[in-house]
Amino acid sequence: MEFLRNLIAGVWTESCADSYSDLVNPATEEVVARYPAGASEDVDLAVAGAAVAQRSWAALPVEKRVREITEWARAIADQADALAWAEYLEMGRPPEVGRTAIIRAANAFETSAAQALTYEFESVIADGDGETRILRRPVGVVALIAPWNYPLAGVLSTLGPLLAAGNSVVIKPSEKSPLSAVRLLDRSPLPPGVVSLVLGDSRAGAPLVEHPDIGLVHFTGSVDTGRRVGASAGAALRRTILELGGKDPVIVDSDVDPVTTAAAVARGAFMNTGQLCTSMERIYVHSDIATRFVDELVQAAAQYRITESSSGSTELGPLIDQRQRNLVHEHVMDAVERGATVLTGGTVPEGPGFYYPATVLTNVDETMSVMTEETFGPVAPVKVVSTFEEALECAAKSHYGLGATVYTNNAEHAEAAATLPAGQIWINQWRGGGPNSIHEPAKNSGMGATGSHATYDAATRPTSVYRPTLRS
């Protein structure tokens, strides 16, 4: 059995933690490795090594840093099969599906690092009777705390600007997905200590957030943990980015094609078994096309079949663990007890693996947890509305504000969609947008803008240097 280790100053190092836990493959329920619980001593060692490495990394010309990151990004794409297999072992995602996500994330890693070549690390302003230089310096050591739902893509989509700006990074992956992080860093060509790894749960995460030598905490995870991280980072006066959970709405207007839209909504609700922060978790459909749309959605759900995922043939992998499956089923049962109708799915399958079928519910309302709390599972609750305005009103009523999608052919409705309280709004295509986009979650879904230059702004600290003009 493999005992996973930390990467500290470029050396694979046994954890100081006093206990280890089983890493269980959610597709088979077999133990695939053991990981340490986490220890503040590990964090101290990792941050100390990262602080030393950061100084020489930041001293390199930006072109050299970008070149080294680019080489690594391309090597990651070449290793996508092996990395997708590690993700399958730890979180059950079918390797074929995982492979595509990793290649896309490696490309994003490369592209976002290359943006350093055009980012203004230094600018000069004529100021009164002199000039002010604005120098954007790296913040130092960044703590990158990640969830398990896209173990590598989540890390890679963030890492580029943090490193290219001249920071070193200590990664704390989720305790539910430590294996792929170990495999990723095993082949990192960057200088020792520029990227480090500490494993464990909150016993590694909390001391990392509180460590005095951390310049930025970049946290992705649930709202509850995000609140704790935000509170302790605030007490330590630490800059923090929080990317948290969501309960994204989708609006299906009266004038769209119900067949193609139902297929798109099925993908939005069931992709990655619904374990996506921007999954479509609340569906508001106009009454004019509701019957046809719901029929098509049920048919589309049938395409997301449960099979053994190691073959890569399944469309629907398992949920991450038994606890998560219980929560998803509780949301469905709560809805049924309050009057919802299950059109497909809604039962816990027999056999090994924490699978749950693609589920479509109708007759839902806002008294049900499936319409108010993040489900993070393959459940599509549909509410029929009489007008587009009613849909907008329902969509806006949530304490989450991560993303929102609207399908419409009406130009005024498309314009009105932009008023929804969300960090990312997509019209007629779920999760679109290029590498230059920036956003900040609304409401409880987080804080701090990210993407493109916004991540560079977060990864650097501006210093102004004023000098008056010399008079002769």
Distance, in Å, from the CA atom of 199 to the CA atom of 237, rounded to the nearest integer, reads 25
Strand segments (E) across 60-145: 122-127, 130-138, 141-145
- Closest contact distance (angstroms) between CB of 276 and ligand NAD is 7
CB atoms within 10 A of CB 414: 16
* Residue 244 vs 420, nearer CB to ligand NAD: 244
Q: What are phi and psi of 378, to 5 degrees?
A: -85, 65
Binding site for ligand NAD (CB under 6 A): 145-149, 154, 172, 174-175, 201-202, 205-206, 209, 220-222, 225, 228-229, 243-246, 277, 374, 376, 402, 446
Nearer to ligand NAD, 53 or 145 (CB): 145
- Report the residue number, 87 or 374, with the smaller CB distance to ligand NAD: 374
How far apart (Å, rounded) are the C-alpha atoms in residues 341 and 358?
14
User: Which residues contact residue 412 at a Cβ distance below 8 angstroms, ignoring those fewer than 6 apart?
Assistant: none
Decide if 340 contacts 215 (C-beta within 8 A).
Answer: no
Q: Determine the Cα–Cα distance for residues 449 and 430; give it in Å rounded to an integer.
A: 20
Give the CA dihedral 262, 266, 268, 274, nearest 10 degrees. Answer: 160
Taking the least distance from each CB to ligand NAD, the nearer of 106 and 320 is: 320
Which residue in 68, 87, 175, 277 is the catalytic one?
A: 277
Measured distance CA(221)–CA(235) in Å, rounded: 20
The CB-nearest residue to ligand NAD is: 205
Q: Of 68 and 248, which has the nearer Cβ to ligand NAD?
A: 248
C-alpha 256: how far from its chain's center? 30
Structure tokens at 385: 């509305």
The CA distance from 165 to 380, in Å, is 41
Q: Report d(CA 280, CA 274) in Å as an integer.
A: 8
**206 vs 420, beta carbon nearer ligand NAD:** 206
Backbone angles phi, psi at 4, to 5 degrees: -75, 145
DSSP string, 195-252: EEE---SHHHHHHHHH-TTEEEEEEES-HHHHHHHHHHHHHTT-EEEEE----EEEEE
201 or 365: whose CB is closer to ligand NAD? 201
For the question of residue 243 being annotated catalytic, the response is yes
Residue with structure tokens 């030393």?
52
Quote the CA–CA distance of 42 and 46 in Å, as a whole number: 6
The alpha helices in 338-378, defined as continuous H runs, are 369-372
Please count the other Cβ atoms lying within 10 Å of the Cβ belonging to residue 269.
31
Which of 199, 256, 258 is CA-nearest to residue 15? 199
Distance CA 375, CA 143 (A): 27
Nearer to ligand NAD, 128 or 432 (CB): 432
Q: Is 277 a catalytic residue?
A: yes
User: Mind telling me the catalytic residues?
Assistant: 243, 277
